[in-house]
Structure 1
Amino acid sequence: MATPDYLARKPSASLIRSSISYGQSSKPAAGHSPSPSTPLFKRSLSSQFGSPSSSFRAEDDCFIYSLGSRFLHAGFMSESRPRCILAFGPGESRRAGDYRQWAPDFHTIRRRGVRGEDWGRAHELYRLDVRDVDLGLMQDKLERAIRQAQTEYFMVDSARPRKIMLAVSSALPRPLLLTALGTLFQVSHASSITLLSTSICSVVAAGLRSALVVDIGWAETIVTAVYEYREVGERRSVRAGKVLSLEMAKVLNDECARRKTQNPVERGGSSSEKADDEVSVEEAEGVLTRVGWCQDRDSARKHPSDTSSKSAAGANEVQSNRPVGAVAATEISIPLISIPLPAATPPITLRIPFNRLSSPADTALFALSTPLHDLDDHDLPLHQLVYKSLLSLPPDIRALCMARIVLTGGVSQLPGLKSRVISEVATLVRERGWDPVQSYGSVSMKLPHRHRSDHPANEDGDEPPDIAQSPQRSATLDAASISLPVPIPASQQPQEPDPVLAKLRHHSHSNADSRAPTTRGVETLGAWAGASLIAGLRVKGVVEIEKDDFAKNGLRGTGGVFGIGGVGGVGGKRGSAG
């Protein structure tokens, strides 16, 4: 028996299996069935089902973060929407091993905040008043949110250095900005962070270069004038989502108190129990998100929501004493909305008139029941804030911004709010014009208008101006018409027609771009989408912070500022945003 040669060359696989070349099909022989085989294609498999190719450039990958007082938007560059929106509420600050959210009765228990705490304090990451902000707690909350975004939504290697673009408000206090930058450098291992202004990102997301950005956020409303990607003006007001949700909670608490008054069985309880039985922030925001709305300007002036709600409440009280036909007519004229409150003690279902659900927006955002002279500069209604912002701008920038009003922010999604703001601003412009003086005192008519009415100017020069008709002048005119003409003073003579000015005026009226600007709103995709677009276009940010420079100098170094009250100049490179 021959010994096998283990060193002999084995037959190759090509000799055992018949090769199939690309573009050719193996035809079975006559009388034989085709053998099963995997088809071969010239194109490669999709990268969604395979590993990344070697040409994938990880150094070009960039994370986009948009940081607000309540939410963190995170995602990749060149995408239309963020991968995740993480909230900083009390439910996201649970300890390890806390599984109360999976309890059967978790959603029927009213979570009460700390007694004496401000409205919505547990749902905020920070406040602009840094005297009441715990920076250590803010750092822990932000670190947890960033780690959750990276592990659950990004699914990337956190040890690999990447670039980050951070969109924040241009007036963010320096301690808060320092805490946010330190947390991002520590958790994300980023090589550099580029700071962008949220107002400029909103303008980019709207496809514009100049606009008036009205950011209706949680704590305040910021109106920023952007001209050629630069912030040229800014005004603020505390009338925003926080005040709006508080007004909605007041409406719900009033309805609950009225229901308990009508039902004597539900009465009783001490003052502490009544305080604990008030509507929580989650319930007020849920009702505001589901059924809250804002009525238009004409309806708000003709039928105020408070009056209609009182009349509707009175109609509901005497509803039982009316005949069936009258009750049906009342229900048709005043629709009622059922709002269940399962967390109340006992659980109740409120029936609120639909018009009453628009009263929080009228009270909190437009201050219909408050005279204007009782409001401070930081407490102005939205339409007055936008009008004063336009009034403070130069005429050329004002003409561009008033036709490009961009409303963004979470509260701007309230139905009817955008059209209401635009109509209110257009009415103010039509009634007051651009005169900064509100009252001339004892003067019954404004001086420019009086001068124009006394000496009307005829631009075409076809007819002479009117001359004051007095008895002596009329007699002089009669004598002049008979004998010699009386010379007219030079101040009352018509302007001689200028052919050059007439030609320029004709061209200006025929040009569509030079027409009188109108008040118009423009939709935007938001600050995060604008930052993603800027990152995808490889545009250098205004402030770019290197990790080593931040570790050495922190916020000390350049002291440069971009925008109005801008994001602090950090020890980094400065470039152009446009």
Structure 2
Amino acid sequence: MASPTKSPTKPRADLRRGLSRSENETTPVTPPTRFISSNLSTPGSAYGKEDDAVIIELSPRYLKAGIEGESHPQIRYDFTPEKAQKLGDYRQYLPGYTRQESKNGAWGEGHELWRNDLKNFDLGLLSDKVERAVREIYNKHLLLDTGHARLVLVVPGLLPHPVLATILQTILERWSFPTVTLFPTPVTALVAAGVRSGLVIEIGWEETTVTAVYEYREVFARRSTRASKLLTRKFVEWAEKRLPHGCMLDLETVEEFLARIARHVCDDKEKQAADNTGTSDTIDVQWPTSSFTQQVTFLRSELKAEIQQSLLGNDIEEEGHADDEELPVQQVIYNVLLNLPPDIRGICISRMMFIGDGADQLGLQSLITKSFSRHLEAKGWSTIQGKKVRRRREGLSELAQGRVQPVDVRHSDTIWTEKAETEERYLREKHKHIQPATYGVVRQIDTLGSWAGASLLGTLKVKSFVEIQRERFLSHGLVGASRDLDVSVLQQRMSTIGLRPKAGERTSWTLAGWG
């Protein structure tokens, strides 16, 4: 009799292994990678992933850095004498150590990355400062690998070529950034404000720049030396005569005092509140010394006059005697708007915005805007100025007003019909919810800043006029830049007829407004 066949069974080792695996796995296991078919994205593929660009805003006093898509930078790196000292230099920790700022042409020299006057300026020191700042930003704050992601630099519209070339050469030689994109400060400030055209007033460290931008293109720009550097120097000269001996007058103390007191001095609302409450015109301040603080009293009117003298100059009659580089801020704004066509002028004057460290001081913006309004009312939009011209204009206006006659209603030829009334009612109802754009009126708008505008442009993957390739810049430098401001049109025409640049062939690129 045949023995019954036995069913195939698993070995005991396999059974034990399966039981132990089922007991240990209490949570479901998800595959490490998933493949999702999509026409717009490939999450399962590592080739379609692109790192977010790093945005760095350059200024003579600081660097602001962060990742695109953020509303504000993650780090602000200020250039101070302590950060530029050598290793092992601990003089600032010694008792009784005070750093005296020079009041000659080198005022604030230890706090600058570069200056406009490049005579006797060490570009090698500039390169070392930029390298140390970028390394600290990436290694301590952003925590990213340097050189893999795209780099976007937000630089001022008026920048010396040696400074720009040194910064680009330092960044592209030390690290392997594939491309470096340049965005001008005025355009990114407009993007952050949500407008396409406007007048950008940048109160910087060494100069104040006024730039008219129309449809994201810089149309006209002028600058003046009346900025934060001149303001702090004038204040030190004014305070030395009133402060007792031993009070500290270094740059950090002066800037902190001006930032705190500018609102109470320059704002008219604060002055009205003080007058209503019966507060005196004096301001008591605990001024720091080398060992303790000392109470100092200032007059509000004298402080306001000193700030106004540094930025806005004297009266209108004396402005014609100033140099072109020392014009008051309201005069620079007026000259820029006067050189614009009437249609662009009407758009820019109603979209005035302030950027820069000097503009962050509350009260200065309203003070400059009101001074410009008075300047405009006194001069008007005429290139011919003078006392005789003003008197003749006033006489002609009085003569024209005397000849105006009332309109006789009997000679009206307008025929009012029911159809015209219906059309007017329809148009009025149609445009009821449409607000007309502000045009030709002095108005100030707010902006989130140049860095926020560059972050928005980087998120939208907007290409700039200046896209610097690493290999081309290291081969030719700034000399390889073309003068053509619209290179993209030429590239499109070449691609349509089949003339594409060969591999390794040098293609033209431009510096746009920096050229």
State the one-letter code of the partner of 1:66: E
1:112 and 2:100 are equivalent in the alignment: yes
Counterpart position of 2:86: 95
Counterpart position of 2:144: 156
Compute the displacement of 1:165 (Å). 0.9
Cα 1:183/1:571, change in 2 over 3 Å:
farther
CA distance in 2, matches of 1:561, 1:294: 49
Residues 430-456 of structure 1: CA distance to partner in whole angstroms, max 9, x if unpaired? Answer: 343322222252773217636734654
State the one-letter code of the partner of 2:171: L
Cα 1:192/1:456, change in 2 over 3 Å:
same
Structure 1: give runs of 5+ residues left out of the alignment.
1-6, 22-36, 45-51, 261-265, 267-276, 303-329, 465-495, 564-569
- Residue in structure 2 matching 1:125, options 108, 113, 116: 113
Counterpart position of 2:284: 337
Equivalences for residues 15-414 of structure 1 within 5 A: 15-16=19-20, 18=22, 55=46, 59-101=50-92, 103=93, 105=95, 109-113=97-101, 117-158=105-146, 160-256=147-243, 259=244, 279-293=249-263, 295-296=265-266, 332-343=279-290, 348-368=294-314, 371-414=318-361
Aligned length: 461
Counterpart position of 2:462: 539
CA distance in 2, matches of 1:94, 1:132: 20
- Residue in structure 1 matching 2:478, options 555, 570, 573: 555
State the one-letter code of the partner of 2:400: R
Compute the displacement of 1:109 (Å). 3.3
CA distance in 1, matches of 2:313, 2:305: 10
User: TM-score under structure 2 normalisation?
Assistant: 0.77
Cα 1:431/1:125, change in 2 over 3 Å:
same
Cα 1:11/1:353, change in 2 over 3 Å:
farther
Residues 88-115 of structure 1: CA distance to partner in whole angstroms, max 9, x if unpaired? Answer: 22111121233445x374xx63212468
Cα 1:395/1:172, change in 2 over 3 Å:
same
For the 8 Å contact 1:363–1:369, the answer to whether it is kept is no
Residues 315-360 of structure 1: CA distance to partner in whole angstroms, max 9, x if unpaired? Answer: xxxxxxxxxxxxxxx994234322222227x864323334444343
For the 8 Å contact 2:482–2:511, the answer to whether it is kept is no
Residues 156-175 of structure 1: CA distance to partner in whole angstroms, max 9, x if unpaired? Answer: 222x5321111112221111
CA distance in 2, matches of 1:147, 1:53: 33
SS in 1 for 2:148: coil
Counterpart position of 1:467: none
State the one-letter code of the partner of 2:20: I
- Residue in structure 2 matching 1:452, options 390, 394, 400: 400
CA distance in 2, matches of 1:435, 1:573: 40
SS in 2 for 1:365: helix
SS in 1 for 2:237: helix
For the 8 Å contact 1:554–1:571, the answer to whether it is kept is no
CA distance in 2, matches of 1:298, 1:92: 39
Compute the displacement of 1:384 (Å). 2.0
SS in 1 for 2:478: coil
Compute the displacement of 1:70 (Å). 1.1
Moved more, 234-243 or 443-452: 443-452
Cα 1:463/1:521, change in 2 over 3 Å:
farther
State the one-letter code of the partner of 2:397: H
User: TM-score under structure 1 normalisation?
Assistant: 0.69
Percent identity, please.
Answer: 30
State the one-letter code of the partner of 1:529: A
SS in 2 for 1:372: helix
For the 8 Å contact 2:283–2:299, the answer to whether it is kept is yes
Moved more, 146-155 or 333-342: 333-342
Compute the displacement of 1:539 (Å). 0.4
Counterpart position of 2:489: none
Larger radius of gyration: 1
- State the 4+ residue runs in structure 1 displaced beyond 6 angstroms: 39-44, 297-302, 496-499, 505-511
Cα 1:456/1:365, change in 2 over 3 Å:
same
Cα 1:351/1:298, change in 2 over 3 Å:
closer
Compute the displacement of 1:528 (Å). 1.1
CA distance in 2, matches of 1:429, 1:550: 46
